[in-house]
């Protein structure tokens, strides 16, 4: 009975939808909404990417007239033995790891502070988003002045405490850490906002339960506050990893890759190669290593962490 | 096991009085239900007993010891929260274990206590499941196991059944009462559901606006409500209230309201004459009669069939809602007029000004 009935009801349900004149079928509707986007994506992503791939197999010369000579994988091989590349690669990894940890840490701390604000001070929650509103370009200039010995906070603090020394953060040893702190300052408010939104969904009674179970502050954080935040933390780890690896404008305005090449991260090396030395083919090959770095690192994060979170 | 005393307990949030001068004694081994509408201060009272909320003034005593300033874990209580709160990312076993983590017991003792508690509420087979894999009833049982594993002096339950469906609530209500009688531990149960209160409580404390209206056994609360609020809050369908006057006619007392003239009988016969009284009568004590001097004219508003009986909801001449319980075969159309008589020997008389019962024959002499 049920078998006989079901095809009947199905056609009955479909008939008015498909037969109504002037209405699009599901396929037609899908094409109408997706084709413009697909065309747009091909124009702005696939074409430039393909062009860059093509460039990377050529040796491009501008001097003595434009010439493009097919060199196969030679550019890719050369990159691997390029000391500047490996220096930039290690700096990028260092900058990225530090930025991710600092951003998540500061974001979490900010979220915890603004969550527990008394009602009269809740408006401060809106204010903490402000650093995020600063463009990376502006943040670069800002942190360049903050870090320098002549104008920076280090010197100002030392003077305020009565020491007659100048403290410079933009040095060979410290510049990457200082830049990572600046990047974290820029991005942490957004992380804090999302974490705060998540925290507010935890039933307040769970904290009472923790009190009855005599949990310490750390245990309460570990067992009550943290678990619902894990997925957000995972997502932001991915986002910040990608953003840090591809950071360019911030470092360009803050240090120009210096002092020396102490902050010449991969994107900066790429910029020098492609747009200052005009070695476009070689630069394109290097950019594909950057792309690989992004894909591999996010892949690792996903397979070691994301899949576990998704399963919960 | 503990006897809990609240002495003149006050809680204010800013300028708002959540609990006003509360005096209450919860006897050792008793199941006391705190009943009241939302916002009446019953949950705040429970939080103060638990130590989760500070007391503004007054004292809380457990077995004579002042615990007012002790933190929750030092009071040896266990609590089950609304919708049977558990740590969502820990298994049932770990959830129960968290109650004993700081107890200082050895690992094997803890294992044994968890096993025993799980056995008591029949959740041994669920211990390795996560809370989101448990049904509402199973969560409730695990939360109970988490509470009893501590072997506390007192259980505090904050509307643990309110999020469950009606059938499950019925089952778990009986389970909780049975459990409380088996382990003979003091239990305080907060609810806004008067049926839950009536069926579970050894005694019921009815609260309103931060104060205790009445405390007593379910029978006392039902038959001898001490305020108009208690009379109206406890019992389904709720009590009917009729405004009127009591006059004296040839030595007999009559309840007068418009054309209605009802001779008072039984206990209410001694009610002193008064211009304004409220006569309270249970819907079960009203009957449909013929029109006349002793019958109240009513307009049918709605009819609720319950199977074994029918509740007729009516509007009286001055728009009070009156409910009458009649036989299941009753039929009438909405808007039609009925006449109801009532048994005054089971009616209670309240003074509308004080909202307290008018004691028969007390002030008459003076």
Interface contact A226, partner B, CB < 8 A = no
Selecting from B73, B82, B90 the residue whose C-beta is nearest the C-beta of A212 gives: B73
Question: How many whole angstroms from its chain centre is CA A309?
Answer: 19
CB pair distance less than 8 Å for B73 and A206: no
Residue A137 lies in a domain: yes
- The mean of the pLDDT values for chain B is 86
**Do residues B9 and B34 lie in contact, with contact meaning Cβ atoms separated by under 8 Å?**
no
The C-alpha of A211 sits at a distance from chain B's nearest C-alpha, in angstroms, of 7
Domain residue limits at A229: 74-311
Residue A95 lies in a domain: yes
* Residue A11: per-residue pLDDT: 47
Interface contact B101, partner A, CB < 8 A = yes
**Do residues B285 and B347 lie in contact, with contact meaning Cβ atoms separated by under 8 Å?**
yes
Please list every residue in chain A whose beta carbon sits closer than 8 Å to the beta carbon of residue B88: 227-228
* Residue B360: per-residue pLDDT: 62
Per-residue pLDDT tens listing for chain A (312 residues)? 444 444 444 444 444 544 566 788 888 888 899 999 999 998 999 899 999 999 889 888 888 778 888 888 888 888 888 888 999 999 999 999 999 999 999 999 999 999 888 888 888 888 888 888 899 999 999 999 998 878 888 888 888 888 888 888 888 888 999 999 999 999 999 999 999 999 998 888 899 888 888 888 999 999 999 988 999 999 999 999 999 999 999 999 988 887 888 888 999 999 988 888 888 888 898 999 999 999 999 999 999 988 888 776
CB pair distance less than 8 Å for A203 and B85: yes
* Residue B365: per-residue pLDDT: 38
Task: Give the separation between CA B107 and CA B99, rounded to whole angstroms.
Answer: 13
Nearest residue to A184 via CA among A250, A113, A270: A250
List, for residues B70-101, the tens digit of each pLDDT value. 888 888 888 888 877 899 888 999 999 988 88
Interface contact B77, partner A, CB < 8 A = yes
Number of domains in chain A: 1
* Residue B204: per-residue pLDDT: 93
CB pair distance less than 8 Å for B50 and A212: yes
* Residue A21: per-residue pLDDT: 66
Best B13, B88, B148 member to test A by mutation, with max A CBs in 10 Å, is B88
Selecting from A205, A223, A227 the residue whose C-beta is nearest the C-beta of B85 gives: A205
Task: Give the separation between CA A99 and CA A109, rounded to whole angstroms.
Answer: 15
Task: Give the separation between CA B355 and CA B252, rounded to whole angstroms.
Answer: 24
* Residue A17: per-residue pLDDT: 47
Query: What are the φ and ψ backbone dihedral angles of B105, each rounded to 5 degrees?
Result: -75, 155
* Residue B172: per-residue pLDDT: 84
CB pair distance less than 8 Å for B98 and A211: no
Task: Give the separation between CA A152 and CA A167, rounded to whole angstroms.
Answer: 8
Best A118, A212, A219 member to test B by mutation, with max B CBs in 10 Å, is A212
Please list every residue in chain B whose beta carbon sits closer than 8 Å to the beta carbon of residue A215: 98, 101-102
Which residue of chain A is at minimal alpha-carbon distance from B81?
Answer: A205
Best A213, A218, A226 member to test B by mutation, with max B CBs in 10 Å, is A213
Selecting from B52, B89, B98 the residue whose C-beta is nearest the C-beta of A208 gives: B52
Task: Give the separation between CA B183 and CA A194, rounded to whole angstroms.
Answer: 46
Residue A143 lies in a domain: yes
The C-alpha of B129 sits at a distance from chain A's nearest C-alpha, in angstroms, of 13
Nearest residue to B76 via CA among A153, A212, A191, A3: A212
Q: Which residue has the tokens 């008072």?
A: B264
What does DSSP say about strands B31-35 and B186-191: parallel, antiparallel, or unpaired? parallel
CATH code for the domain of A95: 1.10.3720.10
Interface contact B163, partner A, CB < 8 A = no
CB pair distance less than 8 Å for B88 and A228: yes
List, for residues B145-204, the tens digit of each pLDDT value. 898 888 888 889 988 888 788 888 888 888 888 888 888 889 999 999 888 899 888 999
Task: Give the separation between CA A265 and CA B13, rounded to whole angstroms.
Answer: 56
Interface contact A227, partner B, CB < 8 A = yes
Q: Which residue has the tokens 């290097």?
A: A286
Structure tokens at A132: 């995020």
Task: Give the separation between CA A12 and CA B345, rounded to whole angstroms.
Answer: 65
Please list every residue in chain A whose beta carbon sits closer than 8 Å to the beta carbon of residue B71: 211
The C-alpha of A306 sits at a distance from chain B's nearest C-alpha, in angstroms, of 16
Q: Which residue has the tokens 């405004």?
A: B243
Task: Give the separation between CA B234 and CA B248, rounded to whole angstroms.
Answer: 31
Residue A287 lies in a domain: yes
Element (H, E) at B319: none
* Residue A237: per-residue pLDDT: 94
**ipTM more than 0.90?**
no
**Do residues B148 and B117 lie in contact, with contact meaning Cβ atoms separated by under 8 Å?**
yes
CB pair distance less than 8 Å for A213 and B78: no
Residue A45 lies in a domain: no
Confidence of residue B1 (pLDDT cuts 50, 70, 90): low
CB pair distance less than 8 Å for B89 and A213: no
Interhelix angle for A230-245 vs A83-115, to 10°?
140
Average pLDDT over residues B319-345: 86
């Amino acid at each position: 009975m049920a078998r006989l009935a079901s095809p009947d009801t199905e056609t009955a349900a479909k008939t008015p939808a498909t037969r109504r004149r002037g209405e699009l079928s599901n396929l037609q509707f899908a094409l109408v909404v997706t084709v413009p986007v697909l065309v747009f994506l091909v124009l702005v992503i696939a074409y430039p990417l393909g062009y860059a791939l093509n460039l990377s197999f050529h040796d491009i010369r501008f001097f003595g007239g434009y010439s493009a000579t097919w060199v196969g994988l030679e550019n890719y091989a050369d990159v691997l033995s390029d000391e500047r590349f490996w220096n930039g690669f290690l700096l990028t990894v260092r900058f990225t790891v530090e930025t991710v940890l600092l951003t998540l840490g500061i974001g979490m701390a900010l979220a915890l502070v603004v969550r527990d604000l008394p009602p009269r001070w809740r408006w401060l929650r809106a204010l903490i988003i402000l650093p995020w509103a600063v463009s990376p370009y502006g943040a670069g200039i800002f942190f360049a002045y903050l870090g320098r010995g002549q104008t920076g906070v280090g010197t100002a603090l030392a003077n305020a405490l009565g020491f007659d020394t100048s403290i410079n953060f933009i040095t060979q040893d410290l510049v990457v850490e200082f830049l990572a702190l600046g990047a974290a300052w820029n991005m942490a408010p957004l992380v804090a906002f999302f974490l705060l939104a998540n925290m507010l969904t935890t039933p307040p009674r769970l904290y009472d339960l923790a009190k009855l179970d005599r949990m310490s502050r750390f245990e309460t954080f570990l067992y009550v506050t943290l678990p619902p935040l894990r997925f957000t933390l995972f997502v932001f780890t991915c986002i910040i990893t990608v953003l840090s690896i591809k950071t360019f404008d911030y470092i360009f305005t803050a240090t120009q890759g210096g002092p020396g090449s102490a902050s010449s991260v991969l994107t900066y090396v790429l910029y020098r190669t492609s747009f200052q030395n005009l070695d476009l083919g070689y630069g394109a090959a290097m950019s594909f290593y950057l792309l690989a770095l992004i894909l591999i690192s996010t892949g690792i994060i996903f397979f070691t962490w994301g899949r576990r979170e998704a399963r919960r | 096991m503990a006897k809990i005393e609240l002495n003149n307990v006050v809680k204010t949030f800013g300028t708002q009085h959540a609990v006003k001068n509360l005096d209450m004694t919860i006897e050792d081994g008793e199941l006391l239900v705190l009943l009241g509408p939302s916002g009446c201060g019953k949950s705040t009272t429970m939080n103060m007993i638990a130590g989760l909320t500070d007391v503004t003034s007054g004292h809380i005593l457990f077995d004579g010891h002042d615990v007012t300033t002790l933190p929750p874990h030092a009071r040896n209580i266990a609590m089950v929260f609304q919708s049977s709160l558990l740590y969502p990312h820990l298994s049932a076993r770990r959830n129960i274990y968290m109650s004993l983590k700081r107890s200082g017991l050895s690992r094997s003792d803890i294992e044994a206590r968890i096993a025993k508690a799980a056995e008591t509420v029949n959740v041994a087979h669920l211990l390795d499941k996560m809370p989101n894999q448990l049904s509402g009833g199973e969560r409730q049982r695990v939360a109970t196991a988490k509470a009893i594993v501590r072997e506390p002096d007192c259980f505090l339950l904050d509307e643990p059944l309110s999020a469950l469906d009606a059938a499950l609530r019925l089952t778990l209500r009986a389970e909780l009462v049975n459990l409380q009688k088996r382990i003979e531990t003091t239990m305080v149960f907060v609810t806004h559901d008067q049926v839950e209160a009536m069926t579970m409580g050894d005694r019921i404390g009815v609260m309103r606006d931060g104060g205790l209206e009445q405390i007593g056994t379910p029978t006392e609360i039902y038959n001898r409500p001490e305020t108009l609020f208690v009379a109206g809050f406890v019992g389904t369908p709720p009590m009917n209230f009729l405004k009127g006057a009591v006059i004296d006619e040839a030595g007999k007392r009559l309840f007068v309201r418009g054309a209605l003239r009802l001779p008072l009988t039984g206990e209410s016969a001694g009610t002193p004459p008064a211009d304004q009284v409220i006569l309270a009568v249970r819907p079960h004590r009203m009957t449909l009669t013929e029109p006349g001097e002793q019958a109240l004219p009513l307009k049918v508003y709605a009819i609720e069939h319950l199977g074994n009986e029918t509740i007729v909801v009516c509007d009286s001449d001055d728009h009070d809602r009156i409910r009458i319980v009649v036989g299941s075969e009753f039929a009438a159309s909405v808007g039609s007029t009925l006449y109801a008589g009532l048994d005054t020997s089971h009616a209670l008389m309240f003074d509308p000004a004080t909202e307290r019962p008018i004691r028969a024959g007390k002030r008459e002499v003076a």
